[in-house]
A and B are shown apart, each in its own frame.
Chain A
Amino acid sequence: MTMDRHDILSPKLGDYVLGDVTPEEIREIEGHVRDCAECAAELGELSLVMEGLARVPEPVTPPPALKRRVLESIASLPKAGQTVDTARRGWNPGWLAAAAAMILALGGALYL
C-alpha cells in the first residue's frame, strides 16, 4: 500500500512553519492544506506555537534613541503603491493619505 499525500505531508507541517522545507515541499504542503481540514487546523495551531516561541523572550525597553532612528528611517521611505511624485513631494498631510486610501478602497470595491 502506498502512502497517500496526507500521510507524507502532515508530518512535514512542523518543518514548514520552521522554514525547514524545500520550495517543492512548500508547494506540495500548501496545495494539500487547502484541501485538508485536519492539516489546516494543525497548521493554524503550529503558527500560534511559533508566535508563542517568538514571545518567550521577556520584552525589553528599547533605548530611547532607537525610536527616533526607526521613525526617521520610515519617513525617508516611499510608500508601497505610492506614486513617485507623491513620495518625492516630501509632505503628506493626513487627509491626503486618507483620501488616497478611500479612493483605492472605492476603486477596489468597484473592481470587485
Chain B
Amino acid sequence: MDAAASVVSRLAAGDMDAASELYDRHAGHVLALARRILRDYGDAEDVVQDVFSQAWRTAARFESSRGTVGGWLLVMARTRSIDRLRAKQARPDTRTDVMPDRMPSADVAAPDQLLSDEQAVRVREALANLPDAQRKALELAYYEGLTQVEIAERLTEPLGTIKTRVRTALGTLRQRLRP
C-alpha cells in the first residue's frame, strides 16, 4: 500500500494524526478549488470543513486503485461547493450528482492510472489555450456546475452549440494527458 492510501486507511481506523496529515497535504488545493467556485472565503472554509468531515466518515470506502487521495477530496470539494453555490443563488438543482463520495469506489469511471503532476500542468495549460468560447462553456460546467441547458440559456446560444463546445474541449484536454 502506498503512503497516500495508508493515510486513508489510518483515517478509516479513526486516527486523528492521519486526519492532520491529510489536511496538511491537501487543504491548500481543496480551499483553492472551493474559493474558485464560491468566490467567498467564509463559504470556502465551510466547504473545507465539510470535505474533511466527509472524508473521515467515508474513508473506509476509498479505494486507492480508483484514483488519487487528492482527486477523491477534490471531487467532494467540487460537489459541496456547487451545492452551496446553488443554494445561495436559489438555483434549483437539476443536476444529478454522479460524482460525490461514491465516485472513487464506483466500479466504473476507474482510471487505470493516476493523474501525475505533469498531467495536471498539461491540463491547466490546455484549458488556458482552448478557444475562448470552448473554455467559457467548460468553465461554466465544471466550476459553476451549470448544466449545458443552463449554459445555453445564459449565453443565449443553441444547446447543440454548447454541447459541441464542451465535448470538443474535453476531447482536447484528454489528448493532452498524453505527452
**Looking at chain A, what size class is its interface with the partner chain?**
35 or more
Whether the Cβ atoms of A45 and B177 lie closer than 8 Å is yes
Whether the Cβ atoms of A52 and B123 lie closer than 8 Å is yes
Whether the Cβ atoms of B167 and A14 lie closer than 8 Å is yes
Whether the Cβ atoms of B98 and A71 lie closer than 8 Å is no
Closest Cβ–Cβ distance, residue A56 to chain B (whole Å) = 5
List the B side residues contacting A73 at CB < 8 Å: 49, 52-53
Closest Cβ–Cβ distance, residue A55 to chain B (whole Å) = 5
B96 near A: Cβ within 8 Å?
yes
A106 near B: Cβ within 8 Å?
no
Whether the Cβ atoms of A57 and B60 lie closer than 8 Å is no
Interface size on B, residues (CB 8 A): 71
Whether the Cβ atoms of B99 and A60 lie closer than 8 Å is no
List the B side residues contacting A75 at CB < 8 Å: 16
Q: CA–CA, A97 to B15, complex, Å?
A: 8
List the B side residues contacting A43 at CB < 8 Å: 108-109
List the B side residues contacting A45 at CB < 8 Å: 111, 174, 177
B-side interface mostly: helix
Known pairs A20-B148, A58-B32, A70-B48; A79 contacts B14 (CB<8 A): yes
Contact mask for chain B residues 138-168; partner A; CB cutoff 8 A; 1 contact, 0 none: 1001110101100000000000000000110
**B residues adjacent to A (C-beta < 8 A):** 9, 12-16, 19-20, 23-24, 27-29, 31-33, 35-36, 45, 48-49, 52-53, 56-58, 60, 67-68, 70-71, 74-75, 77-79, 95-99, 103, 106-115, 119-120, 122-124, 127, 138, 141-143, 145, 147-148, 166-167, 170, 173-174, 177
List 8 A-B residue pairs with CB atoms under 8 Å apart, sorted by A's residue number: A17-B98, A17-B99, A44-B113, A52-B127, A54-B29, A60-B32, A66-B49, A70-B19
What 11 new A-B contacts, CB under 8 Å, besides A46-B174, A52-B123?
A44-B112, A50-B142, A51-B70, A51-B120, A54-B71, A56-B127, A59-B28, A69-B49, A73-B49, A73-B52, A80-B57
**A residues adjacent to B (C-beta < 8 A):** 11, 14-23, 25-26, 29-30, 33-34, 40-63, 66-67, 69-71, 73-75, 77, 79-82, 92, 94, 97-98, 100-101
